[in-house]
Amino acid sequence: MVVAVLTTALGLAPVSLHRALFRRRAKTLVVAVGHQVLRLVLLGVGLVLVGTVLLVFDVVVGMPVAVVVAALTAVVVAALGVLPGLLLRRSAAAERSSAPPT
């Protein structure tokens, strides 16, 4: 529950930062901070998902099964968080290397 509350509050932080720095020529700072905060928020959401799966499966079928399913959920969430970026970087690098020189 604490992680969910902190993640929600952290997710709102870039909005407050943007409102405080609007029209003060701080766009680069706002984008950089917002990007880092979003990464933390995604981590928090992943933790909340894994914790929720652990709780539900513990109540329904017991702790041993819950731990296994929660671990599998953590692997899937981590893969979904990492793989798209890796694939897009690889695709962009391949595109750059096959492009004709300018």
Q: What's the average model confidence in pLDDT over 51-69?
A: 98
Dist CA 25 CA 71 (whole Å): 44
- Could you tell me the two tokens for 73? 């959920």
Q: What's the average model confidence in pLDDT over 59-74?
A: 98
For residue 36, pLDDT over 70 is answered with yes
Dist CA 84 CA 51 (whole Å): 23
Q: What's the average model confidence in pLDDT over 61-65?
A: 98
For residue 58, pLDDT over 90 is answered with yes
User: To the nearest whole number, what is the mean pLDDT of the chain?
Assistant: 91
pLDDT at 102: 64
Q: Mean pLDDT check: name the lowest of 19-23, 42-46, 60-64.
A: 19-23
Task: Considering only residues 25 and 54, tell me which one the structure prediction assigns the higher pLDDT.
Answer: 54
Which of 33, 41, 37 has the alpha carbon at shortest distance from 7?
41
Q: What's the average model confidence in pLDDT over 60-69?
A: 98
pTM for the model stands at: 0.78
